[in-house]
Amino acid sequence: MVLGDSSGGNPNPNPDANQAAAEDDTSIDVLARNIQDTLTVGKRHRFWETQPVGQFNDLGDSTLPEGPIEAPTPISEVKSDPYNLPALYEWTTCDMDDESTCAEVYNLLTNNYVEDDENMFRFNYSKEFLRWALRPPGYYKSWHIGVRVKSSKKLVAFITGVPARIRVRGDVVRMAEINFLCVHKKLRSKRLAPVMIKEVTRRVHLENIWQAAYTAGIVLPTPVTTCRYWHRSLNPKKLIDVGFSRLGARMTMSRTIRLYKLPEATVTPGFRKMELRDVAAVTRLLREYLGQFAVAPDFDESDVEHWMLPQENVVDSFLVENPETHEVTDFCSFYTLPSSILNNQNYSLLKAAYSYYNVATKTPLLQLMNDALIVAKKMDYDVFNALDVMHNESFLKELKFGPGDGQLHYYLYNYRIGNPLRPQELGLVLL
């Protein structure tokens, strides 16, 4: 889940980057110090310094309490009219149930959303994915916000929120997850992004929700944690051909293909696709597992049915059912987020699986995730991506994941966490 047009979840993270890249000192203190040192006073985060978010100057101040930064205001005092846009533009609410509107959103994102730093890849969220991501239980259509050109009605900008319950330490907080902030490339100088963020905030406040979660590939005030994507080649020849990765030193293509070769079949007895009848069991597994992390979603069965039940080319979930007792003991999942391959004559799409939520209680996590890689390979994915959150770090190197060169920063709006979290303390994956 990326707030802004930056390269969060970089589609081209170079999985063969030097191992040291994954072990740099990326503590929040160091990031904050580095970013402040490189910014002139006039270019500091003027917008974010006006918002109720953790500020760089607050780092290390133990007198500041954890929890909401600003108290809720009466709904009657929330601004009732939308914020003013430049004269040529107007607000629109994007109904994702409407095929033509969904197609407009898809085209805007496909042509203008997150690219890698070298402009070789751009995220390509499918229309099915967008509908899944934006219509969870209890969603608000009014939080799917677009900007149109008044004269042509062309959609040129987009931002969304969806409701979520997120537990921060011992408190379950109603939040909005903010995503898909996208401005047409030709309008990036119009300063639309800050007014769009203020407008989605206003609409969230109208539902008596005062906190939010979001991610970005750039450092803003102030990350609650910073994660790194790791990448496991499934189709190494294609990845090398399109420039996603490169041949290692003293490696040939045939040796590289052998290095990443996977077994033909999964090895765990009772490993199968999740079905509707499994929702209650998967919910129990997830709730117990996520309870150990400082920040994690508070899923109920309706959430699990929506987010985890398999949908073709959107999300895939597998579990381990004990063949004798029929107890569901383990769970793994990944979602599908392809990237358009730009300026390549032979390939147009990179099919990527992103690790979602995984719970291992009886099966070793290493074995469970290797089975996930096997099924992803059989489904023709080119690469399997995973953040170093939760317990993921325990399998990354062993299963031949390589560290990417981009970072993903997690943020909370109007909620302060006393000490920045390590990635392993985070139990939240944002799309």
pLDDT tens-digit series, residues 149-163: 999 999 999 999 999
- Catalytic residue, candidates 220, 399, 412, 431: 431
Instruction: Decide if 217 contacts 170 (C-beta within 8 A).
Output: no
**Residue 253 in tokens:** 């293509």
**Segment among 165-174, 220-229, 300-309 with least mean pLDDT:** 220-229
| Residue 48 confidence (pLDDT) | 80
User: What average pLDDT does this structure show over 243-248?
Assistant: 92
Confidence band (pLDDT; 50, 70, 90) for 30? low
**Segment among 204-208, 221-225, 395-399 with least mean pLDDT:** 221-225
pLDDT tens-digit series, residues 345-379: 999 999 999 999 999 999 999 999 999 999 999 99
- Does the pLDDT of residue 23 top 70, yes or no? no
Q: Taking CA 430 as the corner, what is the angle to CA 426 and CA 431, rounded to the nearest 5 degrees? A: 150
Q: What is the per-residue DSSP string for 358-418?
A: -EESSS-HHHHHHHHHHHHHHTT-SEEEEES-TTTHHHHTTTT-EEEEEEEEEEEES-B-S
CA distance 30 to 256: 36
State the DSSP code for 118: T
| Residue 35 confidence (pLDDT) | 45
pLDDT tens-digit series, residues 181-194: 999 999 988 889 99
Domain 19-226 has CATH 2.40.128.20: no
| Residue 114 confidence (pLDDT) | 81
Average pLDDT over the chain, rounded to an integer:
90
The fraction of the chain above a pLDDT of 90, given in percent, is: 78
The fraction of the chain above a pLDDT of 70, given in percent, is: 90
- The SS3 call for residue 233 is strand
pTM for the full model?
Answer: 0.90
- The two domains 19-226 and 228-406 share their CATH topology (first three levels equal): yes
- The SS3 call for residue 7 is coil
Assess whether 262 carries a catalytic annotation.
no
> Class of the 228-406 domain?
alpha beta
Strand runs labelled E in 36-105:
89-93
Task: Compare 420 and 316 and report the one with higher pLDDT.
Answer: 316
CA 45 vs. chain centroid, Å, equals 23
Instruction: Enumerate the domain spans of the chain.
Output: 19-226, 228-406
